């Protein structure tokens, strides 16, 4: 794992190459480092970390930080297989403007950062975050719901979405719980 100083070094490098506003915060917690970045810079940050050796994107998952704004977070878990290092990159977007650039596809030659390789592993995982949280990934080749039915309304994993469920059908409330058959 990059220790605390290693984490600060990485953050410093990122600030140098991407600009000061790219890295918002670094957290070193329980032996693992987390870098919070600005959502606009995510592709560039991941590309930079890939150069540094973190070439395996292990997981992309979403978190709802309700009630702290900005609410929706996306975490990218990176793994450096050669040095057995892990680092987390996270970003947060508000609910009223939940757009993040998708890291799945390769960017074309005329994109601002030049041609960059994408991370194909993020395909289904970004779709799941869209389905469960409502984060819209711009540039994703096929952003549809993946786990819920296609015409489902609502984003279930948000903290203000009710857990739902059925009243348990005992004999005394069988008719009400199960409804007309």
Partner 1 sequence: MSPTEQPTLSDYRQREQSITLAPVTQQIVERNAGDTSEELLTLNFGPHHPATHGVLRLLVTLQGEIVRDIKPIIGYVHTGIEKTAEDKAYWKVIPVVERMDYLSYYFNAMAFCGAVEKLVEVDVPKRAQYLRVIHLELNRIASHLIWLGTSALDLGAVSIFLYCLRERELILDLFEMSSGARMHTRYFQVGGVIEDIPAGFEGKVREFLKIMPKRADEYGAILNANEIVLQRLRGTCPLDADTLLSLGVSGPLLRAAGNPWDLRKADPYSSYDDFQFKIPVGTVGDNYDRFAVRLAEIYESVHIIEQALDGLPEGPHITTDRKVALPPRHELATSMEALIHHFKLVTEGFRVPPGEVYHPIESPRGELGCFVRSDGSSKPARVHMRDPSFVNLQALSHMAEGSYIADMIATTAMLDPILGGIDR
Partner 2 sequence: MEVKREPLGPAAGLGAHVDPGALRVRSLNAHQLLRGADMQGANQPAHLKGTELERYVEERILTTTLDKTVAWARSNSFFPLAFGLACCAMEQFHAAGSRMDIARFGFEAFRASPRQADLIILAGRVSIKMAPIIRRLYDQMLEPKWAISMGACCSSMGVFNNYALVPADKFMPIDVHVPGCPPRPEALMHGVLKLRKMVQDDPDMGWRERYDAHGTEEILGA
From partner 1, partner 2, none, which one binds at residue 63 (CB under 5 to 8 Å depending on kind)?
partner 1
Which is closer to partner 1, CB of 107 or CB of 125? 125
Verify binding: residue 95, partner 1, rule CB under 8 A.
no
Tell me which of 20, 108, 110, 138 binds partner 1, using CB under 8 A: 138
Contact between 3 and partner 1 by CB under 8 A: the answer reads: no
Are 64 and 73 contacting, i.e. CB atoms less than 8 angstroms apart? yes
Dihedral sign (CA 106, 109, 111, 114): positive
**Contacts to partner 2 from residues 135-174, by CB under 8 A:** 148-149, 156, 161-166, 168-169, 171-172, 174
Q: Which one, of 108, 51, 54, 98, lies nearest residue 76 by Cα?
A: 54
Structure tokens at 164: 């739902």
18 binding partner 1? (CB under 8 A): no
Q: Do 72 and 94 touch, CB atoms closer than 8 A?
A: yes
Q: Is 154 in the site for partner 1 (CB under 8 A)?
A: no
Task: Identify which of residues 26 and 88 has a Cβ nearer to partner 1 in the complex.
Answer: 88
Dihedral angle over CA of 121, 90, 22, 120, nearest 10: 0
For 63-68, the CB contacts below 8 A with 24+ separation are 63/90, 64/133, 64/157, 64/158, 64/159, 65/92, 66/158, 66/159, 66/160
List the single partner that 179 binds among partner 2, partner 1, none, CB under 5 to 8 Å by kind: partner 2
Q: Which is nearer to partner 2, 82 or 181 (CB)?
A: 181
Quote the longest CA-to-CA distance of the chain. Answer: 69
User: What is the rounded CA–CA span in Å between residue 91 and residue 88?
Assistant: 10
**Measured from the CB atom, is 105 or 148 closer to partner 2?**
148
Among 64, 71, 100, 101, binds partner 1 (CB under 8 A): 64
| Residue 38 makes contact with partner 1 by CB under 8 A | no
The binding site for partner 2 (CB under 8 A) comprises: 148-149, 156, 161-166, 168-169, 171-172, 174-175, 178-181
């Amino acid at each position: 794992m990059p220790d605390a100083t290693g984490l600060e070094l990485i953050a410093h490098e990122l600030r140098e190459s991407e600009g000061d506003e790219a890295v918002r915060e670094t957290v070193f917690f329980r032996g693992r480092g987390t870098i919070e970045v600005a959502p606009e810079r995510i592709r560039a940050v991941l590309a930079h970390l890939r150069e540094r050796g973190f070439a395996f994107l292990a997981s992309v998952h979403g978190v709802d930080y309700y009630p702290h704004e900005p609410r929706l977070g996306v975490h990218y878990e990176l793994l450096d297989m050669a040095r057995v290092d892990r680092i987390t990159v996270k970003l947060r977007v508000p609910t009223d403007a939940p757009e993040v650039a998708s890291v799945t596809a390769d960017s074309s030659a005329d994109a601002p950062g030049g041609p960059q390789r994408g991370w194909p592993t993020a395909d289904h995982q970004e779709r799941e975050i869209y389905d469960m949280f409502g984060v819209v990934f711009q540039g994703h080749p096929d952003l549809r719901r993946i786990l819920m039915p296609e015409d489902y309304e609502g984003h279930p994993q948000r903290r203000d979405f009710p857990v739902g469920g059925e009243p348990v059908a005992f004999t005394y409330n069988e008719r009400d719980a199960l409804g007309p058959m």
